[in-house]
Chains A and B, each alone.
Chain A
Amino acid sequence: MKIWFTLLFVTLLLACSIRVLAQPQSSAPATKTSNSAVPKKVKSNDGEQRFQANCGRCHTPPEAISPREVKAVLQHMRVRAMLSAEDEQLILKYLAP
């Protein structure tokens, strides 16, 4: 029985730690960005300029990108749309500061 209590305690502890670890990313500013109001609070001029210059070359950006998705989106675009490493980093900081 003790073992089950220990197991339950450890599981709860780890579940909480998942939540805590996930928190800083999900609560970051502009967590969910809107195309029409792309993170105004966290504007980095370089990042915004690169975003405008690169992403709009082919398409209108999606209405919302969460920080969890940004890295995958940017790596995908780095390969597909030939983003430079510098562009990738600046846009990443702009969208998921």
Chain B
Amino acid sequence: MKRTLATLITFLGIATSVCAQSDVPILSGALAFNSSATAGVTTFQPTLAPVLVAPIGDHWLFEGRAQLLGFFFQQNGTSGPYTGQFFATLDYAQVDYIANPNLTITVGRFLTPFNIYNERFSAVWIANLQDSPIIFTIGTRTSASSNGGMLRGVVIERPNWLLNYTAYFSALQTTENLQAGRAAGGRIGMFLPKAGIEVGASYQRFLQNRNYNVAGTYFAWQPPQIPLDVRAEYAHSLGGQGYWLEGAMRIAKSRGTTTWLGRLQTVARVQQFFKGTPTPQDVLPSADVNQFDFGLNYYLPHDVRLNGSYGRAYSSTGNANIWNVQIAYRFLFPAWPGEHK
């Protein structure tokens, strides 16, 4: 009985210390429903994208994100009964070791750090427009995720500027839902916090089927005085090259405004793609494309966002109208219960 008591006390002691920690794991992510009509073909996509982040002390971190997607469409494209499929993918499941202010070592499955759209703007609750840019697949093949190792961190930090870097290697993986291409690459970026400017460049050597180089640059600008977001990327690969430029403006004096009009954001994006030499398993368009999109986002209370957008794509293979309507709810709460006032 004494042994049982001692075990119980030890267990409760551990529980006490764990519960007292402020670094509890969090469960975040989004629940969304998207309706899209591209060239007259209507699809419906419910999405659940949970994110788990579990810090283990000050240096270790586990983070993962999955996507549970539904895809419903008419059997004959524009006619017939609706049919649907469900997919599950693992976007990332990585262990990070924050070694020092200049170095974080990541192992596992991570979002391929080519330019910044994939890592930072592609999440369903972040993207200003629901359709990814045409050049998104350049540098992020085969699944936008990599399986391997990555080094990253801030190299130099000064009051007016900051220089960061990323270097990674990914192994080939063909298992369903865990696909990754064999590639190595890196990115270097500079952030000017007072001006709200970010610039950077990416390089990747794709190392399977046919080895080739991929390169890209990015730019982001948030003038501190007005709630304007400007983002742009350029990418070049054997299969083609292109760019996108996006501007988003809140109808308010500042980003934090929560008046009914201040919650409205207008978005516009232009993009051009120029076809190169077709490469194996290329998922780029088969012809040059010019496209513009215009959208409205409305940030409702309780982290709910409504999006609506219209786009027009011009291509020698046919012009198309692209409509999107989405409602997304972003959630964030501790992964286990406790005080949450």
Contact = CB atoms under 8 A, between A and B. Distances in A.
A68 B340 contact: yes
15 contacts: A10-B9, A14-B12, A14-B15, A18-B19, A27-B341, A53-B196, A53-B224, A66-B341, A68-B24, A71-B55, A75-B55, A79-B96, A79-B104, A82-B162, A86-B157
A79 B106 contact: yes
A19 to B, nearest CB: 9
A82 B256 contact: no
Contact of B338 (A68, A80, A84): A68
A82 B154 contact: yes
Interface in A6-65: 6-7, 10-11, 14, 17-18, 21-23, 25-27, 31-32, 35-36, 38, 49-50, 52-54, 56-60, 62-65
Classify chain B's interface size: 35 or more
Q: Name B's interface SS.
A: mixed
Given A56-B222, A66-B334, A72 B23 contact: yes
A26 B19 CA distance: 12
- For the complex of A and B, the 6 pairs showing the least CB-CB separation, nearest first, are A26-B339, A85-B101, A21-B20, A71-B23, A82-B164, A14-B12
B189 interface: yes
A67 B22 contact: yes
Contacts, number: 147
B258 interface: yes
- The dominant DSSP class at the A interface is helix
Q: What interface size band does chain A fall in?
A: 35 or more
Interface stretch (B119-127, B205-213, B275-283): B119-127
A70 B55 CA distance: 11
B247 interface: no
A10 to B, nearest CB: 6
A81 B26 contact: no
Interface stretch (B33-41, B71-79, B298-306): B298-306
Interface string B81-116: 000000000000000101001001010000000000
